[in-house]
């Protein structure tokens, strides 16, 4: 855990400030929940907080309290730059290095901003003026709760903040089932429910929001599933053509990789998703137990993340990317076989 200059930050926030809060590119439930949860809190404290996101986020997050106030850097560029220019400090949530917001936004940030405060749970964070980094914590939303607690302000957590934070903890823990889910997580979740998070409704809004075409895309993904039992590995591919056939929309492939990991005796799962617009294969990795997909993604696929959930990319074709992936597995045979005891 790194807690850097917290007392100085606390003192700095005793005066009302213009604050910008940023989540990572392709924001997920934890990025949206943590940025908006923190925004509501800072607004209650008398600051003016504005959330900026690099690009769009999935439909199933569009109901989160405060979502209509978010500026998208790619679409509302003027407003975003204006907000950055007049900001006193920028909070960076749910990512560990500035490049995770994309080139355009990173350049603008570096041009206008000198004061950064990081709250994040990803590994190997870059150094910022103020930092609260803890890779043991399941979600940035749980860290925002603890941040508010350290500020001595738990009493300010009301229904909207509770709803935002509940959502990100739920999505980043796979509904409270990943290894990172601790008894502290459950205590915080219980408190958030007491403070107004309607847990049944939140689950339903996020997970029962499928379109017919999304389920059909899932069907296609599952029929592309390949299993390599000798490496306890399974992977899924989705081509651009298949995505188009089922009217792919952002977020439609979220969580699909977990179906590969749900196979009995599989400890390593991957999904390869072709993105012709960006000219890349976007990859998600998941593992059970000690096999670190963060290291794997960093070493071979220009990515990173956490020990059991990471992402990366390849600029080669689908076939070449999958071939490379398969060719790497023999090097990890021993690690994979002992990774997880039932
Ligand atoms: P996902 O597979 O759901 O996109 O991402 C899993 C985890 O890995 C998330 O915590 C995400 O932030 C991180 N991640 C995904 N893609 C990348 C990447 O290209 N680089 C890095 N450093 N982390 C990534
Ligand atoms: Mn997260």
Q: Residue 73: what pLDDT?
A: 98
Q: What is the pLDDT of residue 289?
A: 94
> What span, in angstroms and rounded, lies between the C-alpha atoms of 202 and 272?
29
Q: How far is the CA of 92 from the centre of ligand 2 (A)?
A: 12
Residue with the nearest Cα to atom 7 of ligand 1? 310
What is d(CA 127, CA 268) in angstroms, rounded to the nearest whole number?
Answer: 31
Instruction: Give me 336's structure tokens.
Output: 């994979």
Give the C-alpha separation, 155 to 60, whole Å. Answer: 29
CA 198 to centroid of ligand 2, rounded, Å = 21
What is residue 341's predicted lDDT score, i.e. its pLDDT? Answer: 82
Q: Hey, do 2-207 and 212-338 end up sharing a CATH topology, with the first three levels equal?
A: no
- State the pLDDT at residue 132: 98
Instruction: State in Å: Cα 123 to ligand 2 middle.
Output: 11
User: 30 CA to middle of ligand 2, Å?
Assistant: 5
C-alpha distance from residue 192 to each of 55, 141, 154, 268, 331 (Å): 28, 11, 10, 33, 44
Q: Pocket around ligand 1: residues whose beta carbon is below 6 Å from it?
A: 24, 122, 284, 303-306, 309-313
Atom number, ligand 1, closest to the C-alpha of residue 24: 12
Domain ranges of the chain: 2-207, 212-338
Ligand nearest to the CA of 298: 1
**Residue 146 clears pLDDT 80, i.e. is over it:** yes
Ligand at minimal distance from the CA of 305 is 1
Question: Domain 212-338's class?
Answer: alpha beta
The third-level CATH classification (topology) of the domain covering 2-207 is inorganic pyrophosphatase (n-terminal core) (3.90.1640)
- Looking at all shown ligands, the one closest to residue 31's CA atom is 2
pTM strictly above 0.80: yes
Report CA(140)–ligand 2 centroid distance (Å).
5
Which atom of ligand 1 lies at the shortest distance from residue 122's CA? 10
For 287-308, what is each residue's pLDDT tens digit? 999 999 999 999 999 999 999 9
How far does the chain reach from its first CA to its final CA, in angstroms?
30
pLDDT tens digits along 223-240: 999 999 999 999 999 999
ipTM: 0.95
Model pLDDT, residue 250: 87
Confidence of residue 219 (pLDDT cuts 50, 70, 90): very high
Average pLDDT of the segment spanning 158-177:
98
Q: Does residue 342 have a pLDDT over 80? A: no
Interval 255-266 mean pLDDT: 97
Atom of ligand 1 nearest to the CA of 312: 19
Is residue 92 within a helix (H) or strand (E), and if so which, with residue range? strand 89-93
Cβ atoms 245, 230 nearer than 8 A: no
Average pLDDT, the chain: 97
Ligand nearest to the CA of 306: 1
Going from the Cα of 241 to the center of ligand 2, the distance in angstroms, rounded, reads 30
Question: Which pLDDT does position 114 carry in this prediction?
Answer: 83
112, 36 contact by CB (below 8 A): no
Least confident piece of the model among 106-115, 187-196, 213-222: 106-115
Give me the mean pLDDT over the 273-289 stretch. 97
Q: Is the pLDDT of residue 68 over 80?
A: yes
Asked if residue 113 has pLDDT above 90, the reply is: no
Closest CA to ligand 1's atom 22: 304
Residue from 256, 287, 310 to probe ligand 1 pocket by mutation (most atoms less than 8 Å from CB): 310
C-alpha 171 to ligand 1 mean position (Å): 14
Question: Which has the closest alpha carbon to 20: 97, 100, 116?
Answer: 116
Q: Which atom of ligand 1 approaches the CA of 172 most closely?
A: 10
From the list 222, 249, 216, the residue with the least C-alpha distance to 237 is 222
Could you tell me what percent of the chain has a pLDDT over 90? 97
Average pLDDT over residues 51-60: 95
**Is the predicted pLDDT of residue 160 greater than 90, yes or no?**
yes
- Locate tokens 């670190």: which residue? 292
Helix H segments across the chain? 6-12, 29-44, 77-85, 103-112, 140-150, 159-172, 183-194, 199-207, 212-223, 240-245, 257-261, 293-300, 318-328, 333-338
């Amino acid at each position: 855990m790194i807690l850097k200059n917290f007392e100085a930050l606390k003192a700095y926030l005793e005066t009302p400030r213009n604050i910008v809060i940023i989540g990572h590119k392709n924001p997920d439930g934890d990025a949206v929940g943590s940025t908006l949860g923190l925004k509501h809190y800072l607004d209650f404290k008398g600051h003016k907080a504005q959330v900026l996101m690099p690009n769009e986020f999935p439909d199933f997050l569009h109901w989160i309290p405060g979502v209509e106030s978010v500026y998208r850097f790619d679409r509302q560029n003027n407003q975003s730059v204006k907000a950055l220019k007049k900001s006193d400090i920028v909070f960076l949530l749910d990512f560990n290095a500035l490049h995770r917001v994309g080139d355009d936004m990173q350049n603008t940030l570096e041009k206008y901003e000198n004061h950064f405060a990081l709250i994040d749970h990803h590994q190997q964070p870059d150094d910022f003026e103020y930092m609260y980094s803890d890779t043991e914590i399941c979600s940035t939303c749980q860290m925002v709760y603890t941040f508010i607690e350290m500020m001595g302000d738990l009493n300010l957590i009301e229904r909207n903040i509770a709803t935002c934070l509940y959502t990100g903890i739920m999505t980043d823990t796979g509904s409270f089932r990943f290894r990172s889910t601790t008894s502290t997580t459950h205590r915080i979740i219980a408190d958030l429910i007491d403070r107004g998070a309607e847990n049944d409704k939140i689950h339903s809004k996020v997970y029962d929001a499928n379109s017919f075409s999304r389920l059909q895309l899932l069907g296609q993904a599952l029929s592309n599933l390949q299993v390599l039992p000798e490496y306890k590995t399974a992977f899924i591919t989705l081509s651009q053509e298949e995505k188009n056939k089922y009217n792919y929309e952002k977020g439609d492939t979220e969580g699909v990789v977990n179906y590969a990991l749900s196979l009995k005796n599989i400890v390593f799962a991957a999904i390869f998703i072709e993105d012709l617009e960006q000219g890349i294969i976007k990859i998600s990795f998941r593992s059970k137990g000690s096999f670190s997909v963060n290291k794997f993604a960093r070493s071979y696929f220009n990515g990173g993340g956490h020990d059991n959930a990471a992402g990366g990319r390849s600029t080669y074709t689908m076939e070449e990317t999958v071939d490379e992936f398969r060719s790497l597995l023999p090097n990890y045979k021993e690690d994979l076989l002992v990774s997880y005891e039932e």
